[in-house]
Chain A
């Protein structure tokens, strides 16, 4: 079955701009989580959506937001980009209770210049 698909794979944006990243989970998975990965900070939790509702949120500023659609696809938006937002953004999907773990997409590499 198809894996988790993230688009785009690479993005270069200028400080102050905004960006939207997309994630299509594995068919049947209703939970989608987003993570920011940087060399110094590891995998930092951004938020999790389940059935179109944000179930959990990490400690990121309000510039980071997300949503989930009825088909479980999710988008993440970052407004007023800062240089420090440069990172690999990973999304992961799972079944209702994550008993089979999280399946990650290949990520979107965002560079802010």
Chain B
């Protein structure tokens, strides 16, 4: 039931792009994305509410393919501050259980 993320880990140089995928075996009604820096709490990035929706701010965006039960997070022109572990979260119809994905560790180096 826990969404699976890929890759598990990625190392980038500043300015490079990355894509993180989130795949679920169950129907997705909404997808959240969070970033957790080492030693800190996860921080909400964005929510996608329906299939086909794409969102973004700064150079981080996401898409949601409802039919494939997948979501992807796109980081372009990465910055050092993007380093952290990224989690997708799926569900709920209000009142349903909310699951976080397996996590993707992203490290940006100079």
User: Could you list which residues of chain A lie within 8 angstroms of chain B, going by C-beta atoms?
Assistant: 4, 33, 35, 42-43, 45, 48, 50, 55-56, 58, 90, 92, 96-107
Contact = CB atoms under 8 A, between A and B. Distances in A.
Contacts of B45: 101
Interface in B3-46: 30, 32, 34, 40-46
Contacts of B89: 102
A99 to B, nearest CB: 7
A101 B97 contact: no
Contacts of B101: 42
B97 A56 contact: yes
Contact of A100 (B40, B44, B87): B44
Nearest to A91: B41
Contact of A102 (B44, B46, B49): B44
Question: Binding site of B, secondary structure by majority: helix, strand, loop or mixed?
Answer: loop
Contacts of B40: 106
The size class of the interface chain B forms with chain A is 20 to 34
A106 B41 contact: yes
Given A42-B102, A42-B103, A99-B47, A48 B97 contact: yes
Given A101-B32, A104-B41, A104-B43, A58 B100 contact: no
Given A42-B2, A43-B100, A102-B42, 6 more contacts: A42-B101, A56-B96, A56-B97, A58-B97, A98-B47, A106-B40
